[in-house]
Amino acid sequence: MKNKEVIFKDWGLIDYKEAWDKQEALFADTVALKTRIRNRKIMSEGDEYDEDTPTPNYLIFCEHPHVYTLGKSGKPEHLLLDEKGLKEKNATYYAINRGGDITYHGPGQIVGYPILDLDNFFTDIHLYLRTLEEAVILTMAQYGLKGDRYPGYTGVWLEPDGENARKICALGVRCSRWITMHGLAFNVNTDLDYFKNIVPCGIDDKAVTSMQQELGKKLDIEDVKKNLKHHISVLFNMEMI
The residues annotated as belonging to the active site are: 201
The three-point CA angle 131-232-173 to 5° equals 55
Write out the H or E segment, with its range, that includes residue 128. helix 125-141
d(C-alpha 164, C-alpha 161), whole Å: 8
Question: Any residues with CB less than 8 A from the CB of 193 and at least 6 apart, and which?
Answer: none
d(C-alpha 129, C-alpha 182), whole Å: 12
d(C-alpha 159, C-alpha 119), whole Å: 34
d(C-alpha 56, C-alpha 70), whole Å: 28
Per DSSP, the residues of 79-122 read B---HHHHHHTT-EEEE-SSSSSEEEE-TTEEEEEEE-BGGGT-
Torsion angles phi and psi, residue 142, rounded to 5: -65, -20
